[in-house]
Amino acid sequence: MKRTVYHYYPLFEVDESFIAVIKELAGELGVKVALLLANHYELTDEQIAKELDMKINDIRKILYILFDNQLVLYRRIRDKSTGWFIYLWRLNRDNVEFLVNMKKRLVLEKLEQRLNYEKSHVFFYCPEDRVRVTFEDAVELSFKCPVCGKPLKSFDNTAIITFLESKIKKLKGELSKTST
């Protein structure tokens, strides 16, 4: 009997963005499959199922989701003894990077919008109910909490602005390191 040989590919850089994208598309099990594929050049669905101790149909569903999003590729060969096709799966590393960077750009856009909102408004809040409103809304509410009716206090959003600016700087740095 012929022994199966696993082909190892230099490890694909796995970061929290990669995991987040895979998790969003294929869930926790999808992350397990993608991480396994990240450490191998190519594997059959049977090898993946055995390695992860999962049902082959679950593996195939995940692989099809990843394939539909162009995150995995397959190579089809015919088993000479049975005549059946064997599918060898691997990560489509270029598209993974592209998709991760696309998601990062979307997050960056949202963070910049939120930063602009925080910088362009003055806020008031109720310390008891943790309700935060803009100055305009506070005027309409006569500076009283819409939940408990107590007076609203001025809210300093400097910490939020600083946090958003640091996240934006970090994301811009990550995106500048890649060409996609």
For the chain, domains (ranges, CATH) are: 16-91 (1.10.10.10), 98-176 (no CATH)
**Average pLDDT over the chain, rounded to an integer:** 88
| pTM for this prediction | 0.63
Of 56, 79, 59, 78, the C-alpha closest to 67 is: 59
Tens digit of each residue's pLDDT (9 = 90 or more) over 58-112: 999 999 999 998 889 999 999 899 999 999 999 887 787 788 888 889 999 999 9
Banded model confidence at residue 128, pLDDT cuts 50, 70, 90: very high
Sheet holding 43-44, edge to edge: 43-44, 85-91, 72-78
End-to-end alpha-carbon separation of the chain, Å?
A: 45
The residue type of 166 is S
CA distance 75 to 161: 49
Q: How far is CA 17 from the centre of its chain?
A: 5
CB atoms within 10 A of CB 135: 15
Asked whether the CA dihedral 27, 33, 35, 41 is positive or negative, the reply is negative
Give the pLDDT confidence score for residue 170 in this predicted structure.
Answer: 93
Banded model confidence at residue 12, pLDDT cuts 50, 70, 90: low
- Maximum C-alpha span of the chain: 82
Instruction: Evaluate whether 8 touches 41 at the Cβ level (below 8 Å).
Output: yes
